[in-house]
Structure 1
Amino acid sequence: MIRTAGLAALTALLLAGCATVPHDPPQVAQLQPATLGLDTATPAIDANWWTAFGDPQLDRLIAMGLSDSPTLESALARVRAAEAMVDVRHAAQLPQVTVDGQSTYQRFPEKYIYPPPYAGAAWPITQVQANLSWNLDLFGREKAMVAGARASAQAARLDVAAARLTLSTSIAQTYVGLARAERLIQVANGFVTTRQQALRYVQSRIKHQLASQFELRQAETLLAEAEQAQTRAQGQRDLLVHALAALAGRGADFYPQIAAPTLALDAPPTVPDLLPADLLGRRPDLLAGQSRIDAAAAGRQVARTDFLPNVSIQALAGFAALGLGNFFDPGARTYGAGPAIHLPIFEGGKLKAQYRGATADLDAAVAGYNEAVLGAIRDASDALTLVRTADKDLGDQRRIVAGLRETARLDQVRVSTGLGSRLDTIDSGFRLLEAEQALAGLQSDALTRRIQLIAALGGGFDPNQPLVAAPVEAH
């Protein structure tokens, strides 16, 4: 009868605890792919997309960066910390066993509750006790905490994938910049040679009193401008070498090991020309945002279970005695077991505030994800437009260069036949060199825009593959 009454009282307490859960729904809805106007096709992007540029040195630099970058090492450390937290949360679901022991030498007062011979004397109090506690998690609080920790760990792993993509595209773009700088150095060298020839020609005309000092100063100024462009191109080349070494996780001793790129500026690789239907599932940063939504939802569930009863089982067994001689006596044994119940009755509104805060955290995670999705779609759309624009601009510039090359050839023919002036060939040479300088810039832009599009589409990321750092290639 007593047991029945106790069970009924326990059931009543549990039901009373369940009645206080508030109704506070989220306010922000997650964007769905069907409403974003994405294409139905799915383009294929190789996981090692940079190999399409056909430059072994670029492959080596990216492999080194993905292996030794401090940025990746920091992200991987966060993954290990998040995975450790999953183990911590999982351990809380299991029975906890501890052993405590202490021995205190204490004098007992004469004017208190202790009888002789303890009163007025000092005695050792020794206690050794094994404790068992097990949270039954009847309402899923610990389970929700494990789910939240797992979602956070998954977000950290996806952050590593996003960092890998950012690093690889940064190395590739910097490498294209290096190729451009090398090409501009070649063009600048041509400028210097041509303007040196022009200066010598003017000096020759002055010698024969066919030119003025004004023309001489003009030729000298043009030569100085060409030499300045040459110096700037060489300086830009050195800065890009420094940047590549840093991105690859190397120091100044690595600078001499970076040779001139061999990638072809005039042969950009093919890239997708559409916004894929699986854009939201191929970008690791968006998938990380989804995992953070899951973590926030689990946190909200934890806050919800705080309103509910928490039931656990506790047990103890050990020895406790007054005086060392009594410690091993069978009468020093102590043990006990039973359920423990925690019910929130009055907490001044703290639990409701925590629940509202957890709901707001979920709304913030969803809003952040939605913002990232719209930004990703815009980035990909902009990248597609820029690729098409760069290709058209490059085609126009190629026709300009072809026309100027023909003009320079015809001027040379006219000079050789005595029908033209040497000044005409120098002027057409200047224009051709300037056009070739612009062509080098547009060629590198075409490659850079493709790299940006690959980044906007998530690269060759596959969420089903393990996220590990690439090995360092032999170098």
Structure 2
Amino acid sequence: MKLPYSSAPVFAASTITMKRSALAAAVFVLAGCANYAGISSDKQITAPQNDALQATQSVPSQGGQWPSLDWAKQFGDPQLPQLIDEALAGNPSIAQAQARIAKASSYIESSRAGLFPKVNGSYSWSRELYSANGLYPPPYGGSWYSENNALVSASWDLDLWGKNRSRLNQAVSQQKAAEADMQQARVTLAASVAQTYNQLALLYALRDVAQREIANRSDVGRITNGRVSAGLDTNVEIRTAEGNIATSQTNLSELDGQITTTRYQLGALLGQGPDRGLKIANPVLNSKIEVALPDNVPADLIARRPDIVAARWQVEAATSDVKEAKAEFFPDINLSVAAGFDAFGWGRFFTSSSRQFNAGPAIHLPIFDAGALRAQLKGRYADFDLDVANYNQTLINALNDVATQIASIRSVDQQTSDATRALDASSHAYQLAVIRYKAGLSPQLQVLTADQNRLSNEQTVTNLRMRRRDLQIGLIKALGGGFDAADTNLAIDGQTSKTASVAAKTAD
């Protein structure tokens, strides 16, 4: 039956609509063949307020201040801040961290380029002798011809599912993590310089103790000589006194060797040769500085410790990786267009008849890949779970680090108090023993015993005082060493600082 003329366009339009609908349905059905159903993660980062991280007793609020970037000035030795600045400027570890940041920045630029259209131009020229017995008949066959081809092409990935944007976000997060790692390297290096410098101060303090001991034992030796002349002692006591002096001089020589070695270590930390360490003046650090923790340490520590900030940005990067992997399950649509000229010879190269043009979309649709995309997504989720676990462990270690430093400082303070009383008592006992020995009222052995007790107690007090300062430097490092994520543009804003599991599920 012949349809009326007026019904033909309606029928044709309906047919086209039905074909398009069928095509769209087919696309979605086929796309459903590759899917990520059943692949997810329930891992989440631990909040500082979590009951599992309670630290009010171990890390009490004391109204103190967070360390500032110039924390080394509080030790009263102007050389220490200068050495730290020199190390931060010249140590290769900082240069390595900066190189990693530069590499991460290049990934950002590369990922950002994927969001914009690409335009390319090409030109080719070829000279060819066509066979007289081949495809092309005379006059082409059996003759030489030149072919010119010029083409300008453009393409644009529409990124309908956010794959390229997720890749860019991942690169940005990786750069932020690299920057936080560099800040951690700076904090670690500064603390290492300060602690090695404090070790040098300890060795010089022990050297002073050793020199005083040599003087004391020399005095006892002179008393012994006088007693031998008076017939009160024998050569046994003389040789004993001489042996004690030699032992003290041996200890002094050993300390001198350790001082030289420590100076070499400082030179290396400064990024220079060992001779640089030999030029460092003797330390003159303060003996004791009061320690008070700032308030809200568990909550604020996540922005004060660069290692925690770096771990947090790694979680953000893993979240973007998951989103990118999920976008791989959806069709890619790339628009392309190309225009140019193609002709034999030069005469008609730029004429209108030599024009060439093509345009159209290119669609990539994952239908069946034997589970490759699902395996890739599972791997991204595994990386995500690992980064979440690393963050949680870093936070736990940070709190434990602060608590350990505080407990150790309090313990050292108590030990120092007890050791100081013991030193006072043993020093007084030694003085009495020397007086009695000089007066002929007690034997040399009593003096030597009192001297050994006094020496041991003096060394203990010296070690404890330097140990306290070493722990205080460790506490400064544990509190972030003056780092603040907000001041370095590394803070994660309120929208992205939610739990990692929520962030990961935004791509579902």
**TM-score strictly above 0.5:** yes
Cα deviation code 1:392-427 (max 9, x no counterpart) = 1111112222223444455567679x5855956665
- Residue type at the aligned position of 2:49: A
Q: Do 1:17 and 1:308's aligned partners in 2 also have CA atoms closer than 8 Å?
A: no
Q: CA deviation at 1:164?
A: 0.7
Of 224, 229, 253, the residue aligned with 1:231 is 253
In structure 2, the partner of 1:63 is 85
Q: CA deviation at 1:52?
A: 1.3
In structure 2, the partner of 1:264 is 286
In structure 2, the partner of 1:37 is 54
RMSD: 2.6
CA gap of 1:412–1:211, structure 2 versus 1, over 3 A, is closer
Q: Which moved more, 1:290-299 or 1:142-151?
A: 290-299
In structure 1, the partner of 2:35 is 21
| Alignment of 1:391 onto 2:439 | no
Q: Do 1:179 and 1:261's aligned partners in 2 also have CA atoms closer than 8 Å?
A: yes
Of 118, 138, 152, the residue aligned with 1:96 is 118
In structure 1, the partner of 2:316 is 294
Q: CA deviation at 1:380?
A: 2.0
List aligned pairs for 1:82-231, cutoff 5 A.
82-231=104-253
Q: Do 2:158 and 2:334's aligned partners in 1 also have CA atoms closer than 8 Å?
A: yes
Q: Do 1:52 and 1:269's aligned partners in 2 also have CA atoms closer than 8 Å?
A: no
In structure 2, the partner of 1:472 is none
Q: Do 1:25 and 1:359's aligned partners in 2 also have CA atoms closer than 8 Å?
A: yes
Q: Do 1:316 and 1:337's aligned partners in 2 also have CA atoms closer than 8 Å?
A: yes
Q: CA deviation at 1:166?
A: 0.4
- Residue type at the aligned position of 1:270: V
- Please give the TM-score of this superposition, normalised by the length of structure 2: 0.85
- Residue type at the aligned position of 2:54: G
- Residue type at the aligned position of 2:351: D
Q: Do 1:38 and 1:277's aligned partners in 2 also have CA atoms closer than 8 Å?
A: no
- For 1:292 and 1:7, the matched residues in 2 are separated by 44
| Equivalent pairs, count | 466
SS in 2 for 1:180: helix
Q: Do 1:72 and 1:163's aligned partners in 2 also have CA atoms closer than 8 Å?
A: yes
Q: CA deviation at 1:359?
A: 1.1
- Please give the TM-score of this superposition, normalised by the length of structure 1: 0.91
Cα deviation code 1:163-199 (max 9, x no counterpart) = 0110111111111111101101100111112222223
Q: Do 1:17 and 1:307's aligned partners in 2 also have CA atoms closer than 8 Å?
A: no
Q: CA deviation at 1:318?
A: 1.0
- Residue type at the aligned position of 2:279: Q
Q: CA deviation at 1:49?
A: 1.7
- For 2:209 and 2:30, the matched residues in 1 are separated by 80
Q: CA deviation at 1:305?
A: 0.9
- Residue type at the aligned position of 1:15: F
- For 2:441 and 2:321, the matched residues in 1 are separated by 83
CA gap of 1:92–1:10, structure 2 versus 1, over 3 A, is farther
Structure 1 unaligned regions, length at least 5? 469-475
SS in 2 for 1:34: coil
In structure 2, the partner of 1:312 is 334
Q: Do 1:136 and 1:311's aligned partners in 2 also have CA atoms closer than 8 Å?
A: yes
- For 2:253 and 2:472, the matched residues in 1 are separated by 29
Cα deviation code 1:294-328 (max 9, x no counterpart) = 11111111111111000111011111112233322
- For 1:271 and 1:224, the matched residues in 2 are separated by 45
SS in 2 for 1:380: helix
Of 422, 430, 451, the residue aligned with 1:400 is 422
Q: CA deviation at 1:374?
A: 2.0
- For 1:111 and 1:434, the matched residues in 2 are separated by 108
- For 1:54 and 1:114, the matched residues in 2 are separated by 93
- For 1:32 and 1:412, the matched residues in 2 are separated by 64
CA gap of 1:32–1:466, structure 2 versus 1, over 3 A, is closer
**Once the two structures are aligned, what percentage of the paired residues are identical?**
31
Q: CA deviation at 1:284?
A: 0.8
Of 378, 381, 389, the residue aligned with 1:356 is 378
Structure 2 unaligned regions, length at least 5? 1-12, 491-508
In structure 2, the partner of 1:471 is none
Q: Which moved more, 1:247-256 or 1:65-74?
A: 247-256
Q: Do 2:420 and 2:461's aligned partners in 1 also have CA atoms closer than 8 Å?
A: yes
Q: Do 1:203 and 1:216's aligned partners in 2 also have CA atoms closer than 8 Å?
A: yes
CA gap of 1:49–1:9, structure 2 versus 1, over 3 A, is farther
In structure 1, the partner of 2:480 is 458
Q: CA deviation at 1:5?
A: 6.6
Q: CA deviation at 1:27?
A: 4.8
SS in 2 for 1:324: coil
